[in-house]
A and B are shown apart, each in its own frame.
Chain A
Amino acid sequence: MLDETLVPTSVRLRDEIEGAGINEVLAQLDEDLIGLKPVKTRIREIASLLLIERVRQKMGLLGDTPTLHMSFTGNPGTGKTTVALRMASILHKLGFVRRGHLVSVTRDDLVGQYIGHTAPKTKEILKKAMGGVLFIDEAYYLYRPENERDYGQEAIEILLQVMETQRDDLVVILAGYGDRMEKFFTSNPGFRSRIAHHVDFPDYEEKELGDIAELMLKQQNYQFSEGARRAFDEYIHLRKQQPLFSNARSIRNALDRARLRQANRLVADLDRELTATDIMTLEESDIRASRVFSKTES
C-alpha cells in the first residue's frame, strides 16, 4: 500500500519544470543549435512525456520505467552528437539517468578482434556508461551480414540484453545515416522494438548554415566582414552541390581553412599595425581563395 501522507494530491507543472531546470536546457538547445526544428519539437515532446512520467511516479501512479532508448538518424554533421549530449543532461535533470554523462563509442570500442574479446570489451563500455547515456555512432557497422562469423553479432546480443534488463541504469542512443540505419533495424528487429524514440535530423538550409558559421566564429572570437559573409553564403551554395558535403562539419572545416588564410595574409605584412578587429575579422579575400570558387570558374 502507498503511504497516503507522502503522496501529493495535486502538482503544478510549472513548479515541476522549474524544479528540474529543464527549461534552461531546452532554451540553451534553442539558442546553441540553429535550425533543426523537427528535432527540437521531438525533444520537447520527449521532455514533456518524461515530466509527466515523473509527476505520475510522485503521485504513486506507478508504471514501468518508460523505455528511453533512442535512435538519431541523419546525414553527417547534422548535430546528432551535440543533441545526444543535451539529451543526457535533460534525462539527468528529470531523474531518469543518475549521472548524466555521455559515453560516445563506435564499433571499434565494442567489438573485439578475436574470439572471447568482444564480451569483456562490450561489457566494459556498458559499465562505463551505467548511470548515463551510451551513444553508439554509426551503429549499423555493428552488424555485418556478409561475414557470419563477425563478432559484431555478439556485441549486439549483449547490448540488447542490457537494454532490456537494465533500463533503469542506462539509456542507449543509436546514431547513423538514415537509410543504413533503416537497413540495420530491418535485419535486427530486436533493436527496433527496444527503441522508443526515433528522431530524424534534417539537412540544414543554406541560410542556417550561414548562421551556424557565424555562431562558430563568434564562439572562437572571430567575425566575418560584410563582404566575407556574402562570399561565404555563395561558398555554401557552391559547396553544397559538391560531393561529400557534411553539413555543419564542412562548415567548420571551411572556417578553419579561412582562418589559416587570414593568418597567412596578416603575417605577409609584418610592419602593419594590427588592431583587435583586424585580427578578429575574416575578409572576403580569405573566403574567395577557397578551392570551391576556383573550380566553378575553370
Chain B
Amino acid sequence: MRITQGAFSFLPDLTDDQIAAQVQYCLEKGWAVNLEYTDDPHPRNTYWEMWGLPMFDLKDAAGVLLELKECRKHFGDRYIRLSAFDASHGWESVRLSFIVNRPANEPGFKLQRTEMEGRHVQYTTVPYSADKPEGQRYK
C-alpha cells in the first residue's frame, strides 16, 4: 500500500528534475530546505530523523540534490522526506513537505480491533513493517 503523506503524494513519484524545480521554488522564496528519513511511516510519527542540518542560505537546488543523493545512498530503503521552512514570521514553520524516496516494497498497515467493555471496539493501525527492529524493516 502506497503511503500518502505530504504534498504530491497522490501523484506518481517526482523525478529528480521535478524535485529540483520544487526545491528551487522554495529557495527563491527564502525557505530553508531540510531532509529527514524514517522507516516508521505511521501517520502519527511526525518527527523523523534529520539528515544533517537544515540547509540555509542556498542559492541553487543542486546543493540539496547533492545531499539527497548522499542520503539515498545510505537510506535508500527508507522513506525520505523533504521539507521547506519559512522563517519570515520569526519562527521556522513548514511551508512544503513531500516524500522524495520510498522503499521498493510498501506492505502498508494492519487494522487491529480490540474488543472493549460492552460492544465497544478500539481501532489501532500498525505498519506491517514495524515488527522488525529499526533499520531492518524494509530490507
Contact = CB atoms under 8 A, between A and B. Distances in A.
Interface of A: 98-99, 101, 120, 123-124, 126-128, 130-132, 166, 169-170
A169 B62 contact: yes
Nearest to B67: A127
B32 to A, nearest CB: 12
9 contacts: A98-B62, A127-B55, A127-B66, A127-B67, A130-B63, A131-B59, A131-B63, A169-B62, A170-B62
Contacts of A101: 59
Contacts of B64: 127
B66 A132 contact: no
Nearest to B64: A127
Contact of B59 (A99, A123, A124): A99
A166 B62 contact: yes
Interface residues of B, number: 12
Given A128-B57, A128-B63, 6 more contacts: A123-B66, A124-B55, A130-B63, A131-B59, A132-B59, A132-B60
A50 B62 CA distance: 22
Interface string B14-28: 000000000000000
A120 B59 CA distance: 18
Majority secondary structure, B binding face: mixed
B90 interface: no
A130 B52 contact: no
A126 B67 CA distance: 11
Contacts of A124: 55
Nearest to B63: A127
B71 interface: no
B58 interface: yes
Nearest to A131: B60
Contact of A169 (B57, B60, B67): B60
A160 B66 CA distance: 15
Contacts of B67: 127
A1 B58 CA distance: 36
A132 B63 CA distance: 11
B55 to A, nearest CB: 6
A56 to B, nearest CB: 23
A99 B63 contact: no
Most buried by A among B58, B60, B66, B67: B60
A126 B59 CA distance: 11
Contacts of A166: 62, 66
B17 to A, nearest CB: 13
A120 B52 contact: yes
B66 A130 contact: yes
Contacts of A99: 59-60
A126 B66 CA distance: 10
Contacts of A120: 52
A65 to B, nearest CB: 14
Nearest to B28: A99
